[in-house]
Structures are given as C-alpha cells and as structure tokens.
Chains A and B, each alone.
Chain A
Amino acid sequence: KAGVTQTPRYLIKTRGQQVTLSCSPISGHRSVSWYQQTPGQGLQFLFEYFSETQRNKGNFPGRFSGRQFSNSRSEMNVSTLELGDSALYLCASSPSGSYNEQFFGPGTRLTVL
C-alpha cells in the first residue's frame, strides 16, 4: 500500500505570495491532518479534514486554510506569506480520524524569503 505523499517536497516563495501544498492520503483513509513543524515550536496542529469537512482547527491565523476533495486528497493554502511561515508542513492520514493511527508523509519544506 502506498504511503502518504506530499507535493511539492520543497518550495521557495517570497513574502506576500501565496502557496498551495498537496497531500494524498493512504488509500481508504478518510481523515487528513496538517501540521507545521519548526525548530522552535515543534509540531503544531493546523487542521483536520474528514470526508471533505473541516472537523478541527488549531490556533493559526485565517491566512492558513485547507480543503479536502471527494477522493480524500487534501490541499493546504497559505496566503500573504510571512517569513515566519518558513517550516516543514506535514500531512498525516488516518482511517477514521480522532488522531488514531496517524501515518505521516515526508512533508513539504517551505522557505519564505
């Protein structure tokens, strides 16, 4: 079974731009969660989608948004990028949600210049 895939793996943007990251979960998994990982803050929960609905959201500004499609693939969008948005963005999929048995992808390394 293929694992969680994330594209692109690396991205360089400048301040003020926007970016869209993509995540394809393991086949059959209906829950997708997104996390931001930085050296100072560790892993911070962004949001979780289950069957195309956002079920939960962390404490991030509205510039961070996401969606999930009917095939469970998910996208995350960050608008008006700031230097502090530079991070590794991880996606995790789970069969049923509730953070049980999350399988993580390799992440997208975003650098904002």
Chain B
Amino acid sequence: AQSVSQHNHHVILSEAASLELGCNYSYGGTVNLFWYVQYPGQHLQLLLKYFSGDPLVKGIKGFEAEFIKSKFSFNLRKPSVQWSDTAEYFCAVNALRDDKIIFGKGTRLHILP
C-alpha cells in the first residue's frame, strides 16, 4: 500500500538553526509532491510543490525541498529558522496513476526564541 512517512513527529530548534524535515514515500510511479504548513490557529496552506523539472523547489518564506527520486524522498529545508516558523508541517504525495493523495502524519516544529 502507498504510504508517506514523516520521521520526525516533533522537532525543537533554536532560532537561526538550520532545519531539515524528512519525507519518504512508497510508490513506484510518477508523483506530484507537496509540503503544507499549518500555523497555530490558521488554515493549512501550501508551502511548496514539485511536479516536474528541477528537483530543487523553492517555496514561500525561504523554504525549499529537494526531490530525490532514487530515495523516494522530498525533504524540506530552511537554512535559518525563525520563531514564526513554529507550526505543523505536512508532506503529501499525489500518485498520478490512481490520482490518490496521501498525507504524512505531520511534524510539529517548535522554534525557541
């Protein structure tokens, strides 16, 4: 069965630290990939997406993600986090052949001021 794994359930960092959140999926076909973010008290919103082309994609607020097809991974990165990045982050995979979308269980990121 298709699945999406976010290995870190809860991450605590200090401001200015570098961030990398892992996302791995199990699906052998063509995929579209997404990272969503949910800030406290706000709706889920799209952070970035990958459909094709350059495997390094840039999103809002200085986030980027790299698609490594051989590793079935789409890790989210930010070189220097801010207190305002405190949120829950969700990775999602859309398997194109059957047009399903599967979300990871989320990673809660807490940035210490």
Residues on A lying within 8 angstroms of B by beta carbon are 3-4, 33, 35, 41-45, 55-56, 58, 90, 92, 98-107
Q: B32-47: which have CB < 8 Å to A? A: 32, 34, 36, 43-46
B46, A42: Cβ atoms closer than 8 Å: no
B111 CB-CB contact with A under 8 Å: no
A44, B34: Cβ atoms closer than 8 Å: no
> Range of interface residues on chain B?
20 to 34
Minimum Cβ distance to chain B for residue A91 (Å)? 10
B44, A90: Cβ atoms closer than 8 Å: yes
A3, B43: Cβ atoms closer than 8 Å: yes
Q: B20-57: which have CB < 8 Å to A? A: 32, 34, 36, 43-46, 49, 51
* Known A98-B94, A100-B32; contact A45-B102, beta-carbon cutoff 8 A: yes
A99-B34, A100-B51, A104-B44 known, 4 other contacts, Cβ within 8 Å: A33-B101, A42-B105, A56-B100, A98-B99
Q: Which of A3, A55, A99 has the most CB of B within 10 A?
A: A99
